[in-house]
Amino acid sequence: MTLRAPVKPRVLLTWLGLGFGVTGLIMQFILSMQGAATNGRDFLGFLGHFFAFYTILTNIVLVLIYLSEILPTSRLELFRRPVTRGLMAANIALVGLYVYFVLRFLGSLDGVALLADNILHYLCPTLYLLFWLIAQRHGQLRWTQLPIMLAPTLVYFLYILARGVWVQEYPYPVLNVVQLGYGQVLLNALFMAAALALLCIAVVTADKLIARQTRTNLE
């Protein structure tokens, strides 16, 4: 007698990731909007501030990846590509590691704010990494794609610096040019880029190892 799971792991992880991703983003949006209203920030200013956070942007991309699993529309084709899903595995891992080892020591949260923070920084990254490991078809990533995997974060960094010149505001302490100066910020960015590069290498390596193991099991 063969026992089968009532729901395929790929389907389960897709819906869990989508559900928690949307929930976490909505919770954080509401909390941030309340904070903006308290501080007298206008709505457009709030939107610019909210979407400046790497955590928000990466979790939005994860939601789009899950949607690409559910909806057949060609508009979501970008989020079905192995390189997109692979680079997001590295990026969302970086989000979780950076928050755990750096940001959590810079302040304290409680209540709903802590719940939203844990969903976006820990639960969503964990669910996506499981989704990528279990649900993704492996063996399609190439070492030559490493620059592509690093490019979105470089664009984000340049955007944050340009936005900071305009509004004199930075989403993360390590990117705060006003307090640290460009030299230290660039050095911090190099450390983060090196960490992301290592994670991308780990993702490509894992992709190749899983594909090789799968082929061995089929032989």
* 51-67 per-position pLDDT tens digit: 999 999 999 999 999 99
Q: Of 117-126, 188-197, 207-216, which gets the smallest average pLDDT?
A: 207-216
Give, rounded to a whole angstrom, the gap between the first and last alpha carbons of the chain. Answer: 24
pLDDT at 183: 96
Does the structure show a pLDDT above 90 at 1? no
pLDDT at 219: 56
What confidence score (pLDDT) does residue 214 get?
80
CA atoms within 13 A on the CB side of 91: 24
Amino acid type, 7: V
Nearest to 48 by CA among 194, 219, 166, 178: 166
Q: What's the Cα-to-Cα distance from 119 to each of 37, 55, 113, 122, 199, rounded to whole Å?
A: 24, 11, 10, 6, 21
pLDDT tier at 218, thresholds 50, 70, 90: low
pLDDT above 90: percentage of residues in the chain: 83
Cα dihedral 109, 112, 117, 119 sign: positive
- Range among 18-22, 36-40, 166-170 with highest mean pLDDT value: 18-22
| pLDDT tens digits, one per residue of 63-114 | 999 999 999 999 999 999 999 999 999 999 999 999 999 888 888 888 999 9
Share of the chain above pLDDT 70, in %: 96
Q: Which of 66, 61, 125, 139 is nearest to 97 (CA)?
A: 125
What is the arithmetic mean of pLDDT over 23-39? Answer: 94
- Model confidence at 5: pLDDT above 70: no
Residue 3: pLDDT over 90: no
Residue 39, pLDDT score: 86
- Mean of all residue pLDDT scores within the chain: 93
Across 5-19, 122-136, 176-190, least confident range = 5-19
Domain ranges of the chain: 9-218
Q: Model confidence over 157-188: pLDDT tens digits?
A: 999 999 999 999 999 999 999 999 999 999 99
